Amino acid sequence: MSKAVIGILRQLIAFPSADDLEAVGAGFAQLAGSPAFRVVAGAIDGCHIRIKPPASDVQCYFNRKLFNSVQLQAITDHQGKFLDIFVGYPGSVHDARVLKNSPVYTGRLFPPAGKCILGDGGYPCLSAPICLMTPYREPVQNAVQARYNRKHSRARNIVERAFGMLKTRWRSIFFKALEVSPAFVPDVIACCTVLHNLCLSNGDIVDPEVAEDDDGPPEPCNTEASAGEHVRDNLAAAVSAPGNCVPALHEHDYL
């Protein structure tokens, strides 16, 4: 059964077309309550999947929340549909490091030029190789930053809701340690995300019963954390501008 589901994974978990991106951007603008967020193409976050680790490598899988896990990194659209998943890194690895080793980052696969994705404060703020917008660190310096953070949080929260729906649908998988080899965990989780997308496509929407992860700590010695600050400042200014104009993300460079 799992092989059959994984066989259609790329049909059901895929980046939106150019035409679909317009609807995605409009959806994120509605979530945020600001037309400036029409430049958003997705929201990214990580989720810890409980496992029984191999006896030879327990510490590697022991995460900051004090249990053993494998990580699921996911990008969702404005409706909580999974656009991309990357599963398998041990729980002790920082979210930012998982990102930097994922195909979406190393291959500069998404978002396209002129668009960005939203991430929490555990990620670096980037203009390249992918455009990733994070909130300003608290305490913020002014009302413009505070307003941006509120809008950002409203829009980004959809990825946490997607994880919550995933856990609510398959409680037996996500609320106890998976009793499979860590090497097989990606297949199990991939099946769940594919079926989740199928459910959404058929109007089967559930209310998540669980609160999702809080922001992870910033990666130690993260020299890239401010690489996208100028782009973020432009987006924040657009949020506070009269009429909430849509900013041009000129620094998003895939060359």
pLDDT digits (tens, 9 = 90+) for 90-114: 999 999 999 999 999 999 999 999 9
Distance CA 232, CA 155 (A): 15
Please report the pLDDT score of residue 159 as a whole number: 98
Find the angle CA(25)-CA(27)-CA(30) to the nearest 5 degrees: 110
**How sure is the predictor about 255, in pLDDT bands with cuts at 50, 70 and 90?**
very low
Please report the pLDDT score of residue 56 as a whole number: 83
**How sure is the predictor about 254, in pLDDT bands with cuts at 50, 70 and 90?**
very low
Please report the pLDDT score of residue 227 as a whole number: 80
- The residues pairing with 72 across neighbouring beta strands, listed in sequence order, are 47, 87
- Would you say residue 1 has pLDDT above 80? no
Instruction: Report the percentage of the chain scoring pLDDT > 70.
Output: 86
What pTM does this model have?
A: 0.91
Q: Residue 43: CB partners within 8 Å, gap ≥ 6?
A: 28, 75, 76, 117, 118, 119, 155, 156, 157, 158, 159
**How sure is the predictor about 183, in pLDDT bands with cuts at 50, 70 and 90?**
confident
**How sure is the predictor about 7, in pLDDT bands with cuts at 50, 70 and 90?**
confident
Query: What angle separates helix 185-201 from helix 143-169, to the nearest 10 degrees?
Result: 100
Nearest partner of 116 among 153, 160, 75, 73, judged by Cα: 75
pLDDT digits (tens, 9 = 90+) for 146-161: 999 999 999 999 999 9
Find the angle CA(119)-CA(186)-CA(2) to the nearest 5 degrees: 130
